[in-house]
Amino acid sequence: MLDIDLSKAKKAVIEADAKTVLVQLPEGLKQFTTQIAEELKVNNNEVFVVMDPTFGACDLALHQMKSLNADLLIHLGHAPIHRPKNVVHIPIYDTVDGKTFEKLMKEVEVELKKKKFKAVALCTHAQFLPLLDKIKNRLEEKNFKVLIGEGSPRIAERGQVLGCNYTAVTSIEHSADAILYFGEGLFHPIGIAFSSKKPVLFADTSTAKVVDLSKERDLYARKRFAAIAMAKEAESFGILISTKTGQRYKQVALDCKALIEGHGKKAFLLAMDLVREEYMAGVKVDCFVNTACTRIVGDDAEHWKKPIINPLELEIVFGKRKWEDFNFDVLY
């Protein structure tokens, strides 16, 4: 059950004496658009709700803010990556009912004992952050060692993972027997499986079951190796650059271009807000290099009509990195 507490958001509107408030919410909250807009009308302020899809705090509606001359942007549901002025991040937390929580924790204990894992790196995504300490205490009572990592500066809270950044796990995994991800949906834990060398256990709050995702890693690596092999045949590359605040890697794109051209092949810089495969229709390149959200490659590569690889994979294509140093690309 989602717990939407807008008191901080309302306070921010009042404190900023905002006349024009822009609200940005994840797709899953669009059903609450009108309710949220009504709640955030606290003074004589106008409330505009952004309908462009947003998939993370990497995608703040800053240009819409400027375009509509808004005083304040309220970004709901994602922990901050950047903190531009006049932008307030409001977390939305998920709750797990007591019975499900108990059942799931018992499953976790059984699984850890069965696999003889004594130390785990614990993590979750933004919606379940308030539960981390409770889970940690619970496991420690049962004599497991629980590590929670800080992550890189892109990570707002300890133990938090993003679809593009698992440093809260990878920074401490050497001290753990396994990774324990607590949460809902495959999106985040599958990313851990792609990124980490250790076994990944997914404690799924929607089914109250624990799933071992370690095998996903090999399948993923095989798919990526196939894409890299195809990219080696390419004569021309389209380098994708997103203009979103937290997905904009212009220098990475220029570095990719230099690497490609240094090997006598052609490279073209293709810029856009949201990277969509259908926008590429007709563009005559053999392969795409994605410098935006790493998950475009991680999850959607199969929907692209041409091979699409990440910058780290491009280095393998041109022998700058070894195959055995293949890893899931991270946004910092």
| Min CB(99)–its own copies separation in Å | 29
Identify which of residues 36 and 121 has a Cβ nearer to its own copies in the complex: 36
Identify which of residues 221 and 271 has a Cβ nearer to its own copies in the complex: 271
Identify which of residues 59 and 94 has a Cβ nearer to its own copies in the complex: 59
| Min CB(80)–its own copies separation in Å | 19
20: left (phi over 0), alpha (psi -120 to 50) or beta: beta
Instruction: Say if residue 321 is exposed, middle or buried (CB neighbours under 10 Å; 0-12, 13-18, 19+).
Output: middle
Give the binding site for its own copies (CB under 8 A): 22, 27, 30-31, 33-35, 37, 46-53, 63-64, 66-69, 236, 240-241, 243, 248, 250, 254, 266, 268-275, 279-285
Q: Count Cβ neighbours within 10 Å for each residue of 185-194 and write b for 16 or more, e otherwise.
A: eeebbbbbbb
| Min CB(245)–its own copies separation in Å | 8
Identify which of residues 24 and 170 has a Cβ nearer to its own copies in the complex: 24
CA dihedral sign, ordered 177, 180, 186, 189: negative
| Min CB(285)–its own copies separation in Å | 6
| Min CB(19)–its own copies separation in Å | 11
Give 172's contacts (C-beta < 8 A, 6+ positions apart).
121, 147, 148, 149
| Min CB(76)–its own copies separation in Å | 14
| Min CB(70)–its own copies separation in Å | 9
| Min CB(88)–its own copies separation in Å | 17
Identify which of residues 53 and 185 has a Cβ nearer to its own copies in the complex: 53
Identify which of residues 31 and 137 has a Cβ nearer to its own copies in the complex: 31
Identify which of residues 21 and 179 has a Cβ nearer to its own copies in the complex: 21
Identify which of residues 71 and 273 has a Cβ nearer to its own copies in the complex: 273
Nearest of 295, 90, 272, 294 to residue 185 by alpha carbon: 295
Give 137's contacts (C-beta < 8 A, 6+ positions apart).
none
